[in-house]
Amino acid sequence: QVQLQESGPGLVKPSETLSLTCTVSGDSFTYYVWSWIRQSPGKGFEWIGYIASSGHTSYNPSLKSRVTISQDLSRKQLSLQVRSVTAADAAVYYCARTGFSGYYVVDHWGQGTLVAVTS
Amino acid sequence: DIQMTQSPSTLSASVGDRVSITCRASQSVDTLLAWYQQKPGKPPNLLVYKASTLQSGVPSRFNGSGSGTEFTLTISSLQPDDSATYHCQQYDTLTSFGQGTRLEIK
């Protein structure tokens, strides 16, 4: 059974960079597409982007200039960086497995990690 | 961007009731629509994809229908465990989610 676990600081200062890691266990990392999605009370779910095993990435146009998703195949990890954060970036951040039905349908989610943005 | 609008925002029903949740897209998404169930403090759980295909392991009382711009998630006989928030997601053009429908059991 695949498991996804997000990790990273729960608190980030405005204008700094938010960095999260997701570790995947129990399944093939290279067969699927892996995504980051966030959920905030005000905006609901927002897709951030995905990375395929080839390294191909796709980002939400509204975040593209500030976001980088990368992967470490040997460690079965994906990472997220969001630069120049503001209060609007405060959310629960999920890593997610997609790719079984297109690039966006999620069949497995991490438990999520809450990120607050405050000085 | 494709906007997804769910109705109602909140729904209260009794065990055994048949309930329906509607999701409308601001433009056609064909049948590229998924439904998720989310309980408090937990990540969502995929119920339906491609508008009407039930994900493996999901009880048959859940049914998805629709195409184009209007979609419905129906629960045929409500169970206590169905108390949750339900979200729709289009994946025809990038992806976007509805704002959620909170289902309460009376």
Question: Span B86-98, mean pLDDT?
Answer: 97
* Chain A residue numbers touching B45 (CB-CB < 8 A): 109
| B20, B73 contact by CB (below 8 A) | yes
Q: How many CB atoms lie within 10 A of CB A104?
A: 24
pLDDT at B9: 97
What's the pLDDT tens digit per position in A24-47? Answer: 998 778 888 999 999 998 778 999
pLDDT at A103: 87
Cross-chain residue pair A44–B49, CB shorter than 8 Å: no
Cross-chain residue pair A105–B94, CB shorter than 8 Å: no
Query: What residues are paired with B91 via a beta bridge?
Result: none
Q: How far is B42 from chain A (nearest CA, A)?
A: 6
Taking CA atoms, what residue in B is nearest to A44?
B99
| B47, B18 contact by CB (below 8 A) | no
Q: How far is B48 from chain A (nearest CA, A)?
A: 10
Q: How far is A95 from chain B (nearest CA, A)?
A: 10
Taking CA atoms, what residue in A is nearest to B101?
A44
What's the pLDDT tens digit per position in A42-86? Answer: 778 999 999 998 899 999 999 999 999 999 999 999 999 999 999
Q: What percent of chain B has pLDDT over 70?
A: 100
Which band of pLDDT confidence, cut at 50, 70 and 90, is reported for residue B87?
very high
* Chain A residue numbers touching B97 (CB-CB < 8 A): 44-47
pLDDT at A1: 86
Cross-chain residue pair A104–B43, CB shorter than 8 Å: no
pLDDT at A29: 81
| DSSP-assigned letter for residue B27 | S
What's the pLDDT tens digit per position in B51-83? Answer: 999 999 999 999 999 999 999 999 999 999 999
pLDDT at A14: 97
Q: How far is CA B101 from the centre of its chain?
A: 8
What distance in Å separates the CA atoms of residue A27 and residue A107, rounded to the nearest whole number?
A: 13
Asked whether the bond before B80 is cis by omega within 30 degrees of 0, the reply is: no
The answer to whether residue A96 scores a pLDDT higher than 90 is: yes
Q: Is A65 exposed, middle or buried (0-12, 13-18, 19+ CB in 10 A)?
A: exposed
Q: Give the C-alpha distances (Å, rounded to integers) separating B105 from A54, B16, B71.
A: 45, 10, 23
* Chain B residue numbers touching A47 (CB-CB < 8 A): 94-97
Residue A92: how many CA atoms within 13 Å on its side-chain side? 18
What distance in Å separates the CA atoms of residue B78 and residue B88, rounded to the nearest whole number?
A: 19
Q: Give the C-alpha distances (Å, rounded to integers) separating A94 from B69, B77, B105.
A: 27, 31, 28
Cross-chain residue pair A104–B89, CB shorter than 8 Å: yes
The answer to whether residue A102 scores a pLDDT higher than 90 is: no
pLDDT at A22: 97
* Of B74, B63, B66, the residue nearest B20 (C-alpha): B74
pLDDT at A41: 82
Cross-chain residue pair B55–A107, CB shorter than 8 Å: yes
